Amino acid sequence: MNTTDPTESPSETNPTTADFDQDAAEPAAPQPKANWSDLGLHPDVLSGIRERGYTHPTPVQAEAIPIALEGRDLIVRSKTGTGKTAAFMIPTLNRVPEGYNQPAAIVLCPTRELAIQIAEESQLLCRDKNLRVVSIYGGVAIGPQTDALNAGAEIIVGTPGRVRDHIRRGNLKLGKGMVGVLDEADEMLSMGFYEEVTSIMSELPDEAQILLFSATVEERLKQLIGRFLKDPHEIYLSLDTDRTANTIDHVLYETTLDYPKPRQLLHVLEVENPESAIVFCNTRSDTEVVARFLNRQGLVAEPLSSDLNQKARERVMNRIKRSEIDYLVATDIAARGIDISDLSHVINYALPEDPAVYLHRTGRTGRIGKKGVAISFVGGRELSCRRTLEQKYEIVFEKRTLPSREEAEQHWSKRHFDEMREAMSEGVAFEGFLGMAKALRQRGDEADALTALALRGFFRWHRTEKAKKELIAQGEDPDNVDALLNERSQRSGKQGGHGRGRGGERRSGGDRGNHGGGGHRRRGRGGRGRSSGSGK
């Protein structure tokens, strides 16, 4: 029996995605916005929707929810970032009666992070309805999950390996289940979970409703559809592979052998100055090398690959939610299920072997009409992928020249000069140090080191002050702010960063537990204080 979570797969190479040339219906013409009140939802579910701040259904929600509410099986092809979680959870939560006290819905997804996110979203949506939600995934103790199942949880969200394990142990019985959901079904099958998925689905009654969400529908998935879905209604919306997307600028840098690739990345980051970004690597070892190098330069970077145990992964996810990370450096498999909102840049440290994976990576930015940037480093080995992207998928790359060290330094210095001028305009007292500044210039060889030390102190202080102001503005108790910042500084120090964190780092809202993949955004641009002696 395979009880391994997908992120614990022994091999972590680029995933392969087939059938991206399937004939899909053209996107429908824009329609008037639907209203939640028109859908006939349970009042408690409507209350949860209002609490989440959802004003109108997204296109996928507007099309899928009414059909699902009729009880029909569904096949939905839609890319991530379109609101598909609510598209299948709202009708599911609406259908399950309060106080059912046994498993009524099973939601399967490929990764732990996605399971956690779906469970958290479900809990918020049904906060006013008497339903219990439990997330089930590997890498953590099975006891608490068993206790939650025995307590009568109605909504089960999990990864195939651990869900099947609970079924075999007798902890989970789906004989009276009402709904089965397969999210990112193609990903689950491509990761080798066909047997687990079919085994779990076979536990549901024949009359159970099946909702299937997938970016592609390849042959094995067609077999699963034919076996478990009854006269399904099919909805095809825009996909990551649509050629019509024009919200992403595709930028290409050709790598050089003149100096190491991590430094080429650093120089590009200085010039491009992303607001928020994921750096995608093809191998686990590259994630470690890149993250370690960026940390040595004073940035705050975290590697994310299947090498990390569950505790370490959750620590990384929590840091993302608290906006404590400049760059998440991840493999494709490890990043599945992680949804970082308003991602401005996707950076390909190397192009993937499968061109379709490039489309999935870059589909994380430029969502909901916003502009995004996809930056790729391309060498000789990536020529085949680049040619396919240009010819088959009609990607038009804007070729840019790698910035020189001097150019990168100029951008970095300008931002910090601007920050010092900003501090002066805010009324920071500095006149008393003018005499010392003159004296420093007379210190010969010692002057540069002393000046660098003073600058390091200033940027750390200024970043802390901006962070205090933002935390207080977000409702934190002013008496607790110093302790929060001290804790944050200690965590960053353990990661090898030397002061180039974000000013005004944002804490995650709400009390949503210790899991999840909420977005991070780099706030307080002026606070990018790289320490002296970074080696740049």
Angle value at C-alpha 149, between 146 and 153, nearest 5 degrees: 155
Same-domain check for residues 166 and 270: no
pLDDT in tens, 26-41: 344 444 467 898 888 9
Which amino acid would we find at residue 471?
L
pLDDT surpassing 80 at residue 532: no
SS3 126: coil
Sheet with 397-400: strands ordered across: 301-304, 327-330, 277-280, 345-348, 372-378, 248-254, 397-400
Name the pTM for this structure.
Answer: 0.61
Query: Which residue range(s) make up the domain with 209?
Result: 6-236
Question: 432 with 314, same domain?
Answer: yes
Half-sphere exposure of 262 (CA within 13 A, CB side): 18
340 shares its domain with 418: yes
Residues 216 and 293 occupy one common structural domain: no
- Cite the beta strand spans of 379-447 per DSSP E: 397-400
Quick one: pLDDT at residue 412?
A: 79
Note whether residue 182 is domain-resident: yes
Digit-coded pLDDT (tens) for 290-339: 999 998 887 788 998 877 777 787 788 777 777 778 899 999 877 766 66
- What does the pLDDT look like over 181-199, one tens digit per residue? 999 898 888 788 999 999 9
Task: Kindly report the CATH number assigned to the domain that includes residue 129.
Answer: 3.40.50.300
Residue 448 lies in a domain: yes
The alpha carbons of the chain give a radius of gyration, in whole angstroms, of: 25
**What does pLDDT average to over the chain?**
79
Q: Are residues 315 and 449 in the same domain?
A: yes
Does 62 share its domain with 147?
Answer: yes
Q: Does some domain include residue 1?
A: no
Q: Give helix 160-169 / helix 194-201 axis angle, nearest 10°.
A: 50
Cβ within 8 Å of residue 67, ≥6 positions away: 74, 233, 235
Using CA atoms, how far apart are residues 226 and 68, in angstroms rounded to an integer? 19
Among residues 206, 236, 266, which one ends one of the domains?
A: 236
Q: What is the mean pLDDT of residues 54-77?
A: 91
Domain count of the fold of the chain: 2
Determine whether 323 is exposed, middle or buried from the number of CB atoms within 10 Å of its CB (0-12, 13-18, 19+): buried
- Tell me what the mean pLDDT of segment 507-518 comes to: 33
Mean pLDDT of 200-225: 90
Asked if 249 and 386 sit in the same domain, the reply is yes
Helix (H) or strand (E) holding 404: none
Query: Do residues 264 and 219 share a domain?
Result: no
pLDDT at 44: 94
Looking at residue 531, what is its pLDDT? 38
Domain boundary among 181, 204, 236: 236
Identify whether residues 175 and 318 lie together within a single domain: no
For residues 181 and 253, membership in a common domain is answered with: no
Q: Would you say residue 300 lies in a domain?
A: yes
More confident residue, 285 or 504: 285
**Confidence at residue 190, expressed as pLDDT on a 0 to 100 scale:** 79
Angstrom distance (rounded) from CA 445 to CA 465: 32
pLDDT in tens, 251-288: 999 999 988 999 999 999 988 888 889 999 999 999 99
Residues 187, 286 within the same domain:
no
Check pLDDT > 50 for residue 528: no
Backbone angles phi, psi at 310, to 5 degrees: -60, -40
Longest dimension (CA), the chain: 86
Alpha-carbon span 317 to 394, nearest angstrom: 35
**Mean pLDDT across 426-440:** 86
Domain final residue, candidates 182, 216, 236: 236
189 shares its domain with 295: no
